[in-house]
Structure 1
Amino acid sequence: MPADPPPDSPTCWHAWFDGAASPNPGRLGLGVVLQSPEGALTEVSTRGEGTGCSNEAELHALRTALEHAHAAGARRLVLTGDSDFAVRHGAGLDHTAVPRLAALIAQVQAWAARFEQLEWRWVPRHRNQVADRLSRQALGLPPKPAPHPGKRRTAQGHTGR
């Protein structure tokens, strides 16, 4: 039996997702970026149904990414988000007793099961800026400012005498 191709193989799709709640809890904004193996990009910026907290927004965005990837024909997918909660729970590595979240997690896992191969990746927020911009755009919010690089520390040189 041949081994599965690696996640970054020529047949692999990539998706980035982010959710926003404004205020928190409040209206839901969902952002998804989908990249085909050939490099074609699709951006999705849409309002989520109802209201909820930021974790609900992230789970709705995750489900939306899976739905769009599957509809586009993806069967092998690298799925990336900056929500540790959504990535851990979607991958089945953690559980919650909160009924609203558990129901969303079940939906995410049902969509995830439709893929032949699925790799879950968490990234820091600054590495998920396009999906973040799309989730905020769905709510009519401006993009977050770019992260401040901070002051560079320089060594204080001195001579001892």
Structure 2
Amino acid sequence: MNATTWHAWFDGATKHTNPGIRGVGGLLKGPAGERIEISEDIGEGTNNEAEYAALMAVLDAAVAAKVQDLIVYGDSQLVIKQVNGEWLINAKGLVPMCKTVRRLMAQIPKVSLAWIPREENTEADALSKKAVGVTGQGPVDRTIWTNITEIAKPFGLSGVAFGKRMDLAKLRESGKPTQLALDKGCALLVENSFGHQVYWHKKLLPAALREAMLLD
């Protein structure tokens, strides 16, 4: 590891609904033991907006600290691939946020973004949840979140048939939501004594399948 390299982690959270109250979490660690924590409530919006805002907050702190060499880690595949120019930005509201991120990155001589699994981003995740007052998941709004079978009914499909389309759209793998599904706000993981309970968004999941041209 380079003796001058800083490392940063970012994460955005929404409080039980998407859109909802947003929080950003960030952590920067310097080579000499420096530690900068970020935990802020930024009002209502979507989870992807929260992820972008968290990345902006981390980069802004790095610029203020005059960091010269930085690696930033996040679990939002969508944000990282959009900023790196690998994915198109379909949501208009994210375009100016992406431009701001790139402008901040341009102020740091050496900077890169790297994706990590959610389970490796625990400190930033805890800071983002702290910002919106979430220490654990509260009651799920069942008017928004439900199971696949219920979502499939209005389309005349069984839960199994609907699930196969989700697999083709890479929204689910081995029965679990993929990172893409989480980034799009289609899935909600609620911690319980057995691990996680999965809920699916009544509107955003069908919208994601339509976007993938797998649902009429």
What's the TM-score bracket when you normalise by the shorter of the two chains? Answer: 0.7 to 0.9
Instruction: Give ranges in structure 1 of 5+ residues lacking alignment.
Output: 1-7, 150-161
Counterpart of 1:27, as a letter, is I
Note closer, same or farther for the CA distance 1:14–1:39 as it changes in structure 2 (3 Å cut). same
**Structure 2-normalised TM-score?**
0.61
AA in 2 matched with 1:133: A
1:100 aligns with 2:97: no
Higher helix share: 2
**Amino acid of the structure 2 residue aligned with 1:52:** G
Q: Which of 18, 25, 42 lines up with 2:36 in the alignment?
A: 42
The offset of 1:82, in angstroms, is 0.6
**CA root-mean-square deviation:** 2.0
Consecutive unaligned residues of structure 2, counting only runs of 5 or more, are 138-190, 196-216
1:19-72 deviations in whole A, cap 9, x for unaligned? 011221111100000101112212111012x42111110000000010001111
Deviations 1:78-132 (A, max 9, x none): 0000110111112222221321011111111111111111121110000000000
With 25-34 and 90-99 compared, the bigger mean Cα shift is at 90-99
Q: How does 1:104-123 map to 2 (within 5 A)?
A: 104-123=97-116
- Aligned mates of 2:87, 2:76 — CA distance in 1: 13
Which residue does the alignment assign to 1:73? Answer: 66
Tell me how far 1:146 sits from its aligned partner.
9.9
Query: Relative contact order, CA 8 A, sep 6+: which one is greater?
Result: 1
* Paired residues, number: 141
Letter of the structure 1 residue corresponding to residue 26 of structure 2: V
CA separation of 1:73 and 1:97: change in aligned 2, threshold 3 A: same
Asked whether the equivalents of residues 126 and 147 of structure 1 are also in contact (C-alpha less than 8 Å), the reply is no
CA distance in 2 between partners of 1:42 and 1:92 (Å): 28
User: Percent of aligned pairs with the same residue?
Assistant: 35
Contact 1:17 1:81 in 2 (8 A): yes
1:16/1:79 contact within 8 Å kept: yes
Check if 1:25 corresponds to 2:25: no
Matched, 1:59 2:52: yes
